Structure 1
């Protein structure tokens, strides 16, 4: 007999009419798209975890399937200390979506866990059911970004329906998970992955561990955890790393005494690098990064219309000693910058992550700007890695009066193209703007707009930036964006594990693809770390405390050139 802990995940789905906003988790995995739920049999979990605008209001519990062959009541076992240490080790590996630093998580040694007793025969049947569900989900929903319908051939699918890939088995649940991971890896898509129940629960409820997380706030580029490559995708907004000046594209080469480029040692993975960056609040860590020199100067490649490459550029190594601290970031922040002299005040909004709270904050900011007569605004998307796809479109709709304006198009796995327009987003506007007379009086925002972007602007950030830019609503200032034009979705499986699959890609209003490694080009090149928000709130009008990109945006807005 095998002992297996019963998977259990609780999540809320709050939907409603056009005027009712849904409650969402505070952070969402960058680029994850949440779509409409698919009906399935009562004995299985919903195909996709969704938070959508529709006429529903329900609470779902994903746990043991109804009607599953449980022959014995759950047993309450008190695990020995070494068993609890293993549980603690698993929980400390949770890294707030991107693998941010984590402090220790401990439980009393008398903690008891509920488990089910499952016979080997039942376990084998359940493993095969899980395996086939994963195959069916991939075949139905996965979008092949190379242009084909699927990366797996029909022959591969038929073969895998009979047996897992060579070298893998379905004898145990852990081996089944390994087989599913191997199956997903054959797609060749770095954004598609498999999540165990614990990993999935951590991504659905990232703030459970957020209060215990402590680090310097570095996010690495690839979810594939490539050996020997530790390139910074972006520093977390308002983190010690961002405040120090760590930039997207920097390559981490040293952590304390660990030389990450030592060829005589086995290369460490991204997770191992993150573990070295973690530690209790108030402790220090020394890091060194390599970057092109000088950073922020226009290169020949950038002038020619292509992102600059560090491979053919002289480099320099920059070192810091940073203090770890809890990483608690609001989804969005705003203030009014009052300039010295005759220059008019300028509204400033920085988006850290796209979710419902960020959209509400932007709407609140625009309403306040209009109330105090602010006619210019800066939207800062630097180092914002994305979030909920729909929220980016709702935010974009705030800046247009014409409901027929095309914001973005999406392509799905079946090759269907859908055009998303401003009027499609009006049901996502906040409660106070729902009435027709209020809608036109309070929104949209008609003032001049500048958008700041960099290589850390990805996914939903690119959706918002390109929607405003291609419709001649805003000028982009900064560098090329990251280049993530694909959309992902969670697909919960029957045992509370999940697949994260690419389900489509989006096209700009001018039907341009957002290619990996290229992104969206800025109208005006500028590279600088964002000014800390607390500095902006206390700004006395002296330009020298502002970063060069923000200064450039203020100058262009006051000149009326945007």
Structure 2
């Protein structure tokens, strides 16, 4: 999920509230609403002002508010249920309510560490099924052989069709050493797996200097997610590899499910001297763009590895580097999540994720549900984590071959 910086939208929320009060003098006074009703109304207002689809899934959004506030809301849970029912009418799995615990957990996921099985998950917008975006490197899920696009049919015997995205995630989190049983499906194969929860390391960067056949050196960088630390960690890694004499780079975004939009933008700026990185498009049309302003940390040749587990911010970065002619993309067509969510903190400490925009690459490609097609399409058989970036990794080997043909790396420049 690509979330913009929270403080920006806190300010935006204040403006929304001021607008509502200033232009709704004839409405029911705010003091007449209970705290629970205020929370529901707050969610309705945020969606009303920011949601990407101005038709609200072809329904009268004002009547949705009236219906949600018509019944007495006796406690937090009844308010949360009313909010969830209101949001479900939008038919958008990425616009969702997070109770205070879920909201705190999401903040940890984008900034620190967590305990669980290490799965990044999403609801397939077409099938409605719970799918694996990617297992986190070194996690119990990855060690068990779970792959991108695998479907999770049951968690502890409970059908995931009865669960929201956050309820499913909550059921897979838990104390270190405890176990959880998942019922999985891949194509027509179904199987059951028991995973033991562990601490999931969220250091997103792996960096190595590797020798090249022509006596040159390649900087191999693997980015596993776009959390708050990713831009700084990647900048440190590039700086270190430059000092060690790297002649070219491979940036591995395979199975990277995304994260913070701003992290993707900042990482693109590490590689680009100038040019547009991404356009954001809200319901009024093109809202704005993020630009690179240089200088880039390196101008050395770059190959980016992607696959069907590369999603969201990974696709923003890959699209920016491809459209600006900065990198050659190798691998498989990416996941195709071209929607941007903003995270709003609500009055009781809960949170609201709202799809506020879609994005387009610098060449105005809309990749939602389509993905980004690499310059060199190389399908890959499943490999273990230990085999990533080795001779057993055919996509990595294809990247090496491409760089070998490059005149700068070959020493012909």
Question: Normalising by structure 1, what TM-score?
Answer: 0.61
Matches of 2:57 and 2:179, distance apart in 1? 47
Is residue 2:142 matched to residue 1:242?
Answer: yes
Deviations 1:70-128 (A, max 9, x none): xxxxxxxxxxxxxxxxxxxxxxxxxxxxxxxxxxxxxxxxxxxxxxxxxxx98952223
Matches of 1:464 and 1:451, distance apart in 2? 10
8 Å CA contact retained: 2:48, 2:61: no
8 Å CA contact retained: 2:204, 2:230: yes
* Counterpart residue number, 2:276: 406
Deviation at 1:190, TM superposition (A): 1.2
8 Å CA contact retained: 2:111, 2:227: no
What secondary structure is seen at the aligned counterpart in 2 of 1:205? Answer: helix
Paired residues, what number?
392
What secondary structure is seen at the aligned counterpart in 2 of 1:377? Answer: strand
* Counterpart residue number, 1:222: 123
* Counterpart residue number, 2:85: 182
Pick from 164, 181, 198: which aligns with 2:68? Answer: 164
8 Å CA contact retained: 2:219, 2:241: yes
* Counterpart residue number, 1:559: 405
Unaligned runs of 5+ in 1: 1-29, 49-120, 261-265, 293-314, 427-438
What secondary structure is seen at the aligned counterpart in 1 of 2:330? Answer: strand
Is residue 2:40 matched to residue 1:137?
Answer: no
Deviation at 1:448, TM superposition (A): 1.2
Instruction: Note closer, same or farther for the CA distance 1:137–1:526 as it changes in structure 2 (3 Å cut).
Output: same
Unaligned runs of 5+ in 2: 17-29
* Counterpart residue number, 2:394: 548
Matches of 2:181 and 2:254, distance apart in 1? 25
What secondary structure is seen at the aligned counterpart in 2 of 1:398? Answer: helix
Is residue 2:22 matched to residue 1:34?
Answer: no
RMSD: 3.8
8 Å CA contact retained: 1:139, 1:150: no
8 Å CA contact retained: 1:407, 1:508: yes
Matches of 1:337 and 1:206, distance apart in 2? 31
Deviation at 1:272, TM superposition (A): 8.1
Report which of the two structures shows the higher radius of gyration computed on alpha carbons.
1
Deviation at 1:342, TM superposition (A): 3.5
Matches of 1:498 and 1:284, distance apart in 2? 28
* Counterpart residue number, 1:98: none
Question: Normalising by structure 2, what TM-score?
Answer: 0.80
Matches of 2:168 and 2:41, distance apart in 1? 35
Matches of 2:100 and 2:173, distance apart in 1? 24
Deviations 1:11-63 (A, max 9, x none): xxxxxxxxxxxxxxxxxxx222226636769xxx8579xxxxxxxxxxxxxxx
* Counterpart residue number, 1:330: 203
Matches of 2:204 and 2:270, distance apart in 1? 17
Matches within 5 A, 1:86-235: 125-144=34-53, 149-151=54-56, 155-157=60-62, 159-164=63-68, 169-206=72-109, 210=113, 213-215=115-117, 217-222=118-123, 229-235=129-135
Deviations 1:354-412 (A, max 9, x none): 134211121112212221221111111111111111221121122222x3x12111112
What secondary structure is seen at the aligned counterpart in 1 of 2:8? Answer: coil
What secondary structure is seen at the aligned counterpart in 1 of 2:231? Answer: helix
Matches of 2:10 and 2:191, distance apart in 1? 53
8 Å CA contact retained: 1:453, 1:522: yes
Matches of 2:49 and 2:67, distance apart in 1? 19
Deviations 1:141-173 (A, max 9, x none): 1111xxxx231678441x34544277x543333
Matches of 2:10 and 2:120, distance apart in 1? 36
Deviation at 1:466, TM superposition (A): 0.5
Is residue 2:352 matched to residue 1:452?
Answer: no
Matches within 5 A, 1:312-461: 315=188, 324-339=197-212, 341-401=213-273, 403=274, 405-423=275-293, 439=295, 443-461=296-314
Matches of 1:39 and 1:208, distance apart in 2? 18
Matches of 2:178 and 2:86, distance apart in 1? 41
Deviation at 1:485, TM superposition (A): 0.8
What secondary structure is seen at the aligned counterpart in 1 of 2:209? Answer: strand
Matches of 2:153 and 2:60, distance apart in 1? 44
Deviation at 1:273, TM superposition (A): 7.0
Deviation at 1:493, TM superposition (A): 2.1
Instruction: Note closer, same or farther for the CA distance 1:338–1:532 as it changes in structure 2 (3 Å cut).
Output: farther
